[in-house]
Structure 1
Amino acid sequence: MTSIDTSVHASPAEATPYRWRWAALFVILAAEVMDLLDAMVTNIASPAIRAELGGSAAVIQWLGAAYTLSMAVGLLTGGRLGDIFGRKRMFVIGAVGFTAGSLLCGLAQGPETLIAARVVQGLFGAVMIPQGLGMIKEMFPPKEMQKAFGLFGPIMGLSTVAGPILAGWLVDADFFGTGWRMIFLINLPLGLAAVLAGMRYLPESRSPHPLKLDVPGVFLASLAGVLIIYPLVQGREHDWPAWSFLMIGAAVVVFALFGWFQGRKSRNGGDPLVVPSLFRKRAFTGGLVTGIVFFSGMVGFSLVFNLYVQIGLGYSTLKAGLSMMPWSIGLVIGFICSQPLQKFGRKLLQGGALLMALGVIGIIVTLNIAGVGVTPWQLTPALLLTGVGMGLLMAPFFDIVLAGVEPHETGSASGSLTAVQQLGSAFGVALLGTLFFGMLGTNVAAASDDVTPRLRADLAAVQVTGPAQDRLVEGLRACGHDRAVAKDQAEAPASCVRLEADARAAAASPQAGQAVGKALETAGTTAAKEGFSQAMKAILWVVDGMLLLTFLVAFLLPRHAREGDAAGH
Structure 2
Amino acid sequence: MFMAMFDYFVVNVAAPSFQHDLHATDAGIELVVGGYGFAYAAGLVTGGRLGDLIGYKRMFILGMATFTVASLACGIATDSTFLIIARLFQGATAAAMVPQILALINAMFPAGERARAMAWFGATIGIGSVAGQVFGGALLQADLFGLSWRPIFLVNLPIGVIAVILAARWLPAARGGQRPGFDPIGALAIAGSIALALVPMILGRGEGWPLWTWISLIASVPAMALAMRWEARLARRGGSPMVDLALFRERSFSVGLGLSGLMLAMFGGFMLAVTLFLQGGLHMTPVHAGLIFGPLGIAFATSSMLARRVTERIGSRVIAVGASFSTSGMVLLGILLAARGTQITAAELIPSLVLVGTGNGFVLPSLVGSVLAGIRSKNAGTAAGMLVTAQQFGGAAGVTVLGTVFFAALGAHPAFGDYVSALQWVDGAAILAIVSILGMAFLLPKRAPGMAATR
What range describes the TM-score normalised by the shorter chain of this pair? 0.7 to 0.9
* 1:394 and 2:386 aligned: no
Cα contact 1:169–1:318 (8 A) shared by 2: yes
- Matched residues in 2 for 1:59 and 1:311: separation? 21
Matched residue of 2:218: which SS? helix
Residue equivalent to 1:101 = 70
* 1:350 and 2:350 aligned: no
Bigger Rg, which one: 1
- Matched residues in 2 for 1:368 and 1:85: separation? 55
Matched residue of 1:129: which SS? helix
- Matched residues in 1 for 2:348 and 2:294: separation? 13
- Matched residues in 1 for 2:107 and 2:256: separation? 28
Cα contact 2:265–2:399 (8 A) shared by 1: yes
Pair 1:290–1:146, CA change in 2 (3 A): closer
Cα contact 2:316–2:447 (8 A) shared by 1: yes
Stretch of structure 1 that moved more, 345-354 or 256-265: 345-354
Pair 1:106–1:241, CA change in 2 (3 A): same
- Matched residues in 2 for 1:230 and 1:144: separation? 39
Pair 1:319–1:101, CA change in 2 (3 A): same
Stretch of structure 1 that moved more, 326-335 or 412-421: 412-421
Residue 340 of structure 1: which of 309, 314, 328 is its match? 309
Pair 1:530–1:175, CA change in 2 (3 A): farther
Residue equivalent to 1:540 = 427
- Matched residues in 1 for 2:170 and 2:308: separation? 32
Residue 531 of structure 1: which of 392, 414, 418 is its match? 418
Residue 246 of structure 2: which of 265, 271, 277 is its match? 277
Pair 1:173–1:407, CA change in 2 (3 A): closer
Give how far 1:34 is off: 1.5
Q: Deviations over 1:192-221 (max 9, x none)?
A: 333344455555555563211222112112
Matched residue of 1:560: which SS? coil
Q: Deviations over 1:523-558 (max 9, x none)?
A: xxxx2x333332222222222222122223334322
Cα contact 1:71–1:125 (8 A) shared by 2: yes
Q: Which consecutive unaligned segments of at least 5 residues does structure 1 have?
A: 1-31, 448-526
Matched residue of 2:149: which SS? helix
Alignment of 1:330-479 (within 5 A): 330-342=299-311, 343-372=313-342, 374-402=344-372, 412-442=382-412, 444=413
* 1:90 and 2:51 aligned: no
Q: Which amino acid aligns with 2:46?
A: T
Residue 448 of structure 2: which of 556, 561, 567 is its match? 561
- Matched residues in 1 for 2:206 and 2:257: separation? 30
Pair 1:143–1:255, CA change in 2 (3 A): closer
Q: Which amino acid aligns with 1:531?
A: D
Cα contact 1:87–1:131 (8 A) shared by 2: yes
Cα contact 1:61–1:429 (8 A) shared by 2: no
Residue 262 of structure 2: which of 287, 290, 293 is its match? 293
Matched residue of 1:345: which SS? helix
Cα contact 1:91–1:129 (8 A) shared by 2: yes
Give how far 1:144 is off: 7.7
- Matched residues in 2 for 1:135 and 1:281: separation? 21
- Matched residues in 2 for 1:90 and 1:426: separation? 26
- Matched residues in 2 for 1:114 and 1:266: separation? 40
Give how far 1:337 is off: 3.5
- Matched residues in 2 for 1:34 and 1:79: separation? 18
* 1:184 and 2:153 aligned: yes
Residue equivalent to 1:456 = none
* 1:219 and 2:106 aligned: no
Give how far 1:391 is off: 1.5
Matched residue of 2:153: which SS? helix
Give how far 1:260 is off: 0.6
Pair 1:94–1:37, CA change in 2 (3 A): same
Residue 288 of structure 2: which of 319, 324, 330 is its match? 319
Pair 1:53–1:313, CA change in 2 (3 A): farther
- Matched residues in 2 for 1:144 and 1:399: separation? 11
Q: Which amino acid aligns with 1:552?
A: G
Q: Which consecutive unaligned segments of at least 5 residues does structure 2 have?
A: none
- Matched residues in 1 for 2:318 and 2:118: separation? 21
- Matched residues in 2 for 1:111 and 1:438: separation? 29
Q: Which amino acid aligns with 1:80?
A: R
Q: Deviations over 1:25-83 (max 9, x none)?
A: xxxxxxx2222221222234334444544556555654443223322232212233344
Residue equivalent to 2:36 = 67
Cα contact 2:373–2:451 (8 A) shared by 1: no
Cα contact 2:59–2:97 (8 A) shared by 1: yes
Residue equivalent to 2:199 = 230
- Matched residues in 2 for 1:58 and 1:334: separation? 38
Residue equivalent to 2:178 = 209
Give how far 1:356 is off: 0.9
Q: Deviations over 1:295-347 (max 9, x none)?
A: 11112222332233123322112101101112112212322343332132343
Pair 1:231–1:128, CA change in 2 (3 A): closer
Residue 164 of structure 1: which of 122, 130, 133 is its match? 133
Cα contact 2:201–2:400 (8 A) shared by 1: yes
RMSD value, Cα: 3.2
- Matched residues in 2 for 1:299 and 1:73: separation? 18
Pair 1:234–1:315, CA change in 2 (3 A): same
RCO comparison, higher one (Cα < 8 Å, 6+) = 2
Matched residue of 1:212: which SS? coil
- Matched residues in 1 for 2:127 and 2:51: separation? 28
Residue equivalent to 2:163 = 194
Q: Deviations over 1:370-411 (max 9, x none)?
A: 445643321111111111111122232123334666676655
Stretches of 4+ aligned residues off by more than 6 angstroms: 136-150
Aligned residue-pair number: 454
- Matched residues in 1 for 2:450 and 2:245: separation? 25
